[in-house]
Amino acid sequence: MEMYHVKSWEWIKKDEDGVEYFGFGLEQIIGDFHKGSFYRMKRVKAQLKQVKDSLRLKKDLLFIIGLIGCCATIRESRCGLATFVVILLLVFITEVVVVILGYVYRAKVEDEVDRTITRVYDEYNGTYPDAASRAIDYVQRQLHCCGIHNYSDWVKTRWYIEAKNNSVPLSCCRASINNCTGSISRPTDLYSEGCEALVVKKLQEIMMYVIWAALAFAAIQLLGMLCACIVLCRRSRDPVYELLITGGTYA
């Protein structure tokens, strides 16, 4: 079984339309996971802008939280440190929820893809103006796959039955094969692996990146909370330390 190779998502960076088609294809395959009709979705370009804006907002928020912590530590403010700990606790809880949801949805990816991918392929009509057809072709080319489980799945689609040419889309042709016509009588010219398993694997990889990033942030928040709690405990329990801060005398 041929292994697919996607070199660090370089193909996404080089082709802005490719980002749109690939994202559109994945969202078509996943289907309406939560709400909306089957074809209702946001453009990937807009989603990337939203991600960029949310990351910028999170960066600013973390900067403000860090500034509060630094000021509270320098000024030895119990109220400031307590506020800092509460904020970090809320962020930590959020990160834990993200990790849990990531694992939950990661387990559901395969079921959701399996539930909708047959319908997506049946909607294929092979025309360039059709966004769904472009998306499927792009996914097949980039993931080096053909059909749902293999190229023979195309035989059951409406497009294949109406075309009556005994061929699958040219996006199923191996890149190394010249003059490939997509004929199923020459299966060695076609990608042998189906797209369902590869799409599931790619989506699960993306979710794992999100999970690990959330875990890393959660660890940082936990470390910050521990440090702030240590300072709070030291300030409240050490009488000599308290007198030095307040300028009193020690009898």
pLDDT at 56: 64
How many CA atoms within 13 Å lie on the side-chain side of 97?
6
- Nearest in space to 171 (alpha carbons), one of 200, 205, 196, 195: 195
Angle at 48 between CA 18 and CA 194, to 5 degrees: 40
- Domain boundaries defined on the chain: 10-246
- Considering only residues 188 and 241, tell me which one the structure prediction assigns the higher pLDDT: 188
Percentage, residues of the chain above pLDDT 70: 68
pLDDT in tens, 79-127: 877 888 888 888 888 878 878 887 787 777 777 777 778 888 888 887 7
Q: What is the mean pLDDT of residues 24-36?
A: 45
Give the per-residue pLDDT at 173. 94
- pLDDT of 154: 92
Least confident of 69-73, 96-100, 238-242: 238-242
Residue found by looking up tokens 């769904």 in the block: 132
- Residue 226 is predicted with a pLDDT of 85
Q: DSSP of 113-131, one letter per residue?
A: HHHHHHHHHHT----TT-H
